[in-house]
Amino acid sequence: MANQVFRRLAFLIIGVLVVSFFYLGKNTFRVDSILPARLREGTLTPSSQANGFRPDASTTPVSVQEPIVFSLIMWSKDSALEGALLIKSIVMHNSRPTDIHVICDDEAEDVLRSRLQLVTRPRYPVRVWYIKPTWQAMYDRVEREGSLKTDHSAGLPGLMKLFIHELLPRSVTKSIFVDTDAFFITDPSLLWEVFDTLQPQTAIVMASHPNQHAPEWHDASKICSCVILLDVKKLRDARLMASSVYTQIDPNDRVEALGTTAFKAMYGLPGGDGKGRYDNVRLGDQGYWWAIVDYHQNLFEPLSYDFEVTSCIMDMYFTGLGDDTRTEEDEESHHTNTRGTPQEGKVVLPKLLHFNCLHNTTVYMEWTGWKDPDNYLNYRWGAAMKFHNGYKWIWLNQGDRGHPAYTIEQHTRSNATFLDEDLLKSWRHAHQKHQH
């Protein structure tokens, strides 16, 4: 009797499967076909977490997308006021989780925290780390490198752009750097996706301007280091910057850093005799990046001007708001400063605006030109700046009011150390352990 019941049940199940297969289609008969659409699309998972990063026992949806990683530098209240607008634009336009590492001082952290605390339910998870090396630590790292010097207004903190890969957590493999005087007007994930298009050996991506010629700067204006895609793992593995620590660990270490080789090729020996520092490098960190990408061309790829629409020298390539029915062909015909560049023949479709070289102001949003109706930069892009600057932080609270899926996490890493210091510490620990 029991066997008859079992056989009938088995035939019934098989019948249901066959009917489902033919009537619903073989591609729909999968476990994921019974899941909500948001889960099938891969953007959410049934497991939960209140902030989008730590699973718990609830049923709150969690993003499973890889976060976009930014590394920013803000060393003063003014730079943080600019950088806050950049971060606002990232949260406003981004369509996936975001990790933001900010190399900063106390003033900058205070400015950013005061604004980010207003956002309690963003659309996607956001994590922010305030990485805070001391001034002495930054100075000491430059000393251990041995040749760097700058006369740029960004000063010592500006040189930290050359050491981002050393300050970021080792778990971070790639990151986007953006200067504080810029903001996104489209989804930042479009910039992140550029990583997927790169050659296997590429480690550095930034705008290239081969049509520029400035002998007084050693032609450093042929690139712009204001927006950089960095494969920080490759730069760590290849040893981008020198340090006296490496010979402390191994007296026989003869590996020359990528930077050292490039600097000597472009600028000669530091101080002229190898015993001083480079006093002939202009444009701050950009002068050093220029030497690196010019010498190690296999590590470099140019970035589309879409992501570096700059007011400095390039005059925004003569793009601007208005005339909204213009064709791509017509738009491209009006461009300036693109001939003889990787962008020649390609229309610039602005995704990130960079308002640098606005003189007589420390915070670009306060530039007097924004109040001048006859100023052509204001005429073309002033409305975009005013919209993003005036957009209220609380308007970023676009998650569920009753049960927000995500929050903004904020963490502080005080007394942050550099990679070479960490390696020395690990070596000493292992050496002491071996002796005992």
Place of tokens 């806050």: 84
pLDDT > 70 in the chain, percent = 85
Q: Are 93 and 127 in contact (CB under 8 A)?
A: no
Higher pLDDT, 19 or 283: 283
pLDDT, position 46: 29
- Domain with 282 in it: 65-422
- Alpha-carbon distances of 276 from 76, 155, 246, rounded to whole Å: 29, 18, 20
202 shares its domain with 160:
yes
The per-residue pLDDT of the chain, averaged, comes to 87
Q: Which of the residue ranges 3-17, 109-123, 345-359 would you say has the lowest mean pLDDT?
A: 3-17
Nearest CA among 245, 258, 119, 250 for reference residue 201: 258
Using only the alpha carbons of the chain, give its radius of gyration: 26
Confidence label for 181 from pLDDT (cuts 50, 70 and 90): very high
pLDDT at 250 over 70: yes
Model confidence at 128: pLDDT above 50: yes
Question: Would you say residue 428 lies in a domain?
Answer: no
One domain for residues 351 and 411 = yes
Same structural domain, 19 and 97: no
Q: What is the pLDDT of residue 64?
A: 65
| Domain count within the chain | 2
Nearest-angstrom CA–CA distance, 138 and 420: 12
Q: Tell whether 43 is covered by a domain.
A: no
In this predicted structure, which of 33-47, 294-308, 366-380 has the lowest mean pLDDT? 33-47
Are 300 and 259 in the same domain? yes
Looking at residue 135, its pLDDT comes to: 98
Q: Is there a single domain that holds both residue 259 and residue 403? A: yes
113, 22: one domain: no
Q: Are residues 335 and 393 in the same domain?
A: yes
Q: What is the pLDDT of residue 275?
A: 83
Q: What is the mean pLDDT of residues 292-300?
A: 98
Per-residue tokens: 421: 């210091």
The model's confidence at residue 63, banded by pLDDT at 50, 70 and 90, is low
CA 338/CA 344 separation, integer angstroms? 5
The answer to the question of residue 119 being in a domain is yes
Q: Are residues 11 and 128 in the same domain?
A: no
Identify whether residues 220 and 352 lie together within a single domain. Answer: yes
Burial class (CB in 10 A: 0-12, 13-18, 19+), 36: exposed
pLDDT at 26: 38
30 and 71: one domain?
no
274 and 345 part of one domain: yes
Among the residue ranges 40-54, 192-206, 249-263, the one predicted with the least confidence is 40-54
Mark out the alpha helices in 320-418 (DSSP H runs).
328-333, 376-390
CATH number at residue 199: 3.90.550.10
Residue 100: which H helix or E strand, with range?
strand 98-104
**Pair (250, 394) in one structural domain:** yes
Residue 153: the pLDDT is 83
pLDDT tens digits, one per residue of 142-179: 999 999 999 888 899 999 999 999 999 999 999 999 99
pLDDT at position 163: 98
- Per-residue pLDDT averaged across 269-282, rounded? 90
Mutual angle of helices 258-267 and 285-295, in 10-degree steps: 100
Which pLDDT does position 4 carry in this prediction?
54
Average pLDDT over residues 401-408: 89
β-bridge pairing 408-414 and 44-45: unpaired
Residue 266 has pLDDT above 60, yes or no: yes
Q: What is the mean pLDDT of residues 242-270?
A: 96
Predicted pLDDT at 373: 95
Q: Can you give the pLDDT at residue 313?
A: 86
Least confident of 108-117, 119-128, 224-233, 396-405: 396-405
Contact 122, 426 (CB under 8 A): no
For residue 436, the model assigns a pLDDT of 62
Inform me whether the pLDDT recorded for 193 exceeds 90: yes
Q: How far apart are CA 92 and CA 187, in angstroms?
A: 8
What pLDDT shows up at residue 383?
98
Answer yes or no: is pLDDT of 35 > 70.
no
- Whether the pLDDT of residue 90 is over 60: the answer is yes
234 three-class SS: helix
Domain assignment present for 39: no
Q: What would the pLDDT profile of 313-351 be if each residue is shown by its tens digit?
A: 899 999 999 999 999 999 999 999 999 999 999 999 999
pLDDT value at 56 more than 60:
no
Has residue 267 got a pLDDT over 80? yes
Question: Is 47 inside any structural domain?
Answer: no
> Which pLDDT score is estimated for 340?
94
In DSSP terms, which residues pair with 126 in a beta bridge? Answer: 98, 408
